[in-house]
Amino acid sequence: MSIQTIITWGVVFAVFALTIKPIGTYIVRVFTFQPTFLDRVLRPVENGIFRIVGVSRDSSMTTKTYAIALLLTNMAWALGAYILLRVQGALPFNPQHFPDINPLLAFNTAASFTTNTNWQAYAGGSTMSYFSQFAVLSYLQFVTPATGGAAAIAFLRMVSGKKIGNFFVDLTLMVTRLLLPLSVVVTLILVGQGVPETLAPYLHLHSITGQAQLVPRGPIASFEAIEHLGQNGGGYTNTNSANPLENPTAFSNIVEIISMGLLPVAFFYAFGVFTGRKKTAWTFVGVAGTFFIAMLALIYFPEAAGNPIINALGLHTHANMVGKELRFGLGGTSIFETSTMSFTTGSVASAHDSYLPLSSMSFFLGMFLNMIFGGKGVGLLNLLMFVIITVFLMGLMVGRTPEFLGKKIETKEVTLASIAFLLHPLLILVGSAIAVSSPLGLQGIFNPGPQGLGEILYGFSSAAANNGSAFGGLGAALPFYEVAVGIVVIIGRYGSIVAMLFIGESLLNKRSVPESSGTMRTDTFLFGGILWGAIMILNALTFFPIMALGPIAEQYLMMAHHLF
């Protein structure tokens, strides 16, 4: 392991460790309407927005109206984005004169960006105008992660015994108090590193060999900032953060990694402050952090060992650098990919299709679990879903009604948590099954055997987890995948959020139960271990069969020098 790798990993982990408490505490102060240092600047702006919308800062909704407001607002964004993409050619800020987006691609893109998935079945630099990039897609990259964060805040209020709050207030504060200020800071840092931020046309250059070359540019720095801070992942260019225009230096690489995890990690601590159970929050941080480290090791060490076929030729000193970013080295690339899969961002700094099958299992793990810190707030909700299922299973084992946060976990909570859990593998497995059994789906396979199956499985896993990254070998621009993926991202996004909101309402309406000698504490190392094991067992039972046909089979066949 190189010094560069050790420094990169050390800086990233140190920043997360140092910022989790202050940012988590700040989040709680914002959403409990306590004074903060940004009040003087932002409160008048927010009050103006609230007057226009017709709400007050301390107003509250019912869970049903909160969920309806969330869904209808997101539907309106999707419709607006679809219309604007369909008439792109007639809109301003289009110096490259890109034409209108076709109906299926416009639907896929609108659905993807509205659900915070940012799956891209297009090449941004040759498809989207400046207006589409900054006024449509970049706008969605602010408000759609704010939607997930608002849902998490609503849940935390309810489980801490408070009213749910108002969706439009929470949405506004997520943007003004968290995403917008941080985006300004990150944009300035990226511009300082050489990332373009301009509305000037693309550059026509000639290389030293005399070849003509078109270099895309535009408002890239601001796009990159919210792309990572909002766990969006939709890159300005087709190659995302592997493109020097988006991620030019080792320092910018670290900045983008930290941007991905800053808020999701802090939300875990905010849970502890909201509920008054900081030790439980640290237990959850330990569970998610252990998975993060396991994913990082699963990517780095097989790739560092190299391809066994290449090693058999006597080139033992060479890591598998195919598709990797040489500027950042294997260490910088590995922690970027671990972060983008753990925080469900989806932006990539390397070609996921070029990783060894064993390493690619780390990507699948992040999307299958969907709670290794996850997206801002949504990852916390998914972890709490597993917590409810775990305490229920523990209650069955000891013959006692399970409790969580001083409330009894009964039929309604377990049913809703089970629906939220089962919906995720249902979308992945059914979508993959339809694709491999349909001639239209099979048209998208560019590689045979288990590699092709892995590419399809990855695509639907990415859609269901609202991740947005892809194996490059799948023909995602085909009509079948534009429609199928668009449907999966919508169901995968809102099904679990709505279920968790109603779980929060159910817990709010229950009486608190005093702790007794029979209460299973959730702030201990023992519970963390049980939770970790339950998450692994539930997901292994669900996904191991199809993984055995894909990456696992490919790894064994590769060791026998059989390639696809």
Each residue of 231-287: pLDDT tens digit? 888 888 888 888 899 999 999 999 999 999 999 999 999 999 999 999 999 999 999
pLDDT of 83 above 90: yes
CB atoms closer than 10 angstroms to residue 529? 14
Average the pLDDT over each of 47-61, 307-321, 358-372, 416-430 and give the range with the smallest value.
307-321
As a whole number, the mean pLDDT across the chain is 91
Positive/negative CA dihedral, 183, 188, 190, 194? positive
d(CA 391, CA 20): 26
d(CA 226, CA 246): 12
DSSP line for 25-72? HHHHHHHTT---TTHHHHHHHHHHHHHHHT--TT----HHHHHHHHHH
Backbone angles phi, psi at 150, to 5 degrees: -65, -40
Residues 484, 435 contacting (CB under 8 angstroms)? yes
Cα-based distances in Å from 448 to 109, 460, 476, 561: 28, 18, 16, 15
Question: Torsion-angle region of residue 233: left (phi > 0), alpha (psi -120 to 50) or beta?
Answer: left
State residue 559's pLDDT score. Answer: 85
Positive/negative CA dihedral, 467, 471, 477, 478? negative
Can you give the length of the chain in residues? 564
Percent of the chain at pLDDT exceeding 70: 99
Return the closest-CA partner of residue 160 out of 52, 264, 249, 273: 273
Positive/negative CA dihedral, 511, 514, 520, 526? positive
Question: Is residue 316 very low, low, confident or very high in pLDDT (cuts 50, 70, 90)?
Answer: low
pLDDT of 328 above 80: yes
pLDDT of 341 above 70: yes
Q: HSE-up of 208 (CA within 13 Å, CB side)? A: 0
Residues 319, 330 contacting (CB under 8 angstroms)? yes
pLDDT of 502 above 90: yes
Percent of the chain at pLDDT exceeding 90: 67
State residue 317's pLDDT score. Answer: 66
Question: Is residue 76 very low, low, confident or very high in pLDDT (cuts 50, 70, 90)?
Answer: very high
State residue 145's pLDDT score. Answer: 93
Q: HSE-up of 457 (CA within 13 Å, CB side)? A: 26
Q: Taking the mean position of all CA atoms in its chain, how far away is CA 180?
A: 18
d(CA 30, CA 23): 10
N-to-C CA span, the chain: 30
pTM of the predicted model as reported, rounded to 2 decimal places? 0.93
Ranges assigned E (strand) in 198-242: 203-206, 212-215
459, amino acid identity: G
d(CA 157, CA 161): 6
**pLDDT mean over 477-500:** 91
State residue 61's pLDDT score. Answer: 94
For 535-558, the pLDDT digits (tens) are: 999 998 899 999 999 899 998 888
Which tokens is 387 given?
Answer: 């917590």
3-state secondary structure of 236: coil
Could you tell me which residue, 494 or 513, shows the higher pLDDT?
Answer: 494
For 11-37, the pLDDT digits (tens) are: 999 999 999 999 999 999 999 999 999
Return the closest-CA partner of residue 84 out of 116, 104, 108, 110: 110
State residue 237's pLDDT score. Answer: 83
State residue 489's pLDDT score. Answer: 93
Could you tell me which residue, 237 or 142, shows the higher pLDDT?
Answer: 142
Question: Is residue 115 very low, low, confident or very high in pLDDT (cuts 50, 70, 90)?
Answer: very high
SS (H, E, C) 313-344: CCCCCCCCCCCCCCCCHHHHHHHHHHHHHHCC
d(CA 239, CA 243): 6
pLDDT of 398 above 80: no
State residue 43's pLDDT score. Answer: 94
Question: Is residue 190 very low, low, confident or very high in pLDDT (cuts 50, 70, 90)?
Answer: very high
Number of H helices, E strands in the chain: 21, 4
Alpha-carbon radius of gyration of the chain: 23
Could you tell me which residue, 406 or 429, shows the higher pLDDT?
Answer: 429
For 518-532, the pLDDT digits (tens) are: 677 888 899 999 999
Return the closest-CA partner of residue 265 out of 292, 240, 241, 247: 292
DSSP line for 83-131? HHHHTGGGSSS-TT---PPPHHHHHHHHHHHHTT----SS-GGGT--HH
pLDDT of 213 above 90: no
d(CA 176, CA 179): 6
State residue 476's pLDDT score. Answer: 80
Cα-based distances in Å from 38 to 35, 41, 146, 176, 181: 8, 6, 18, 10, 9
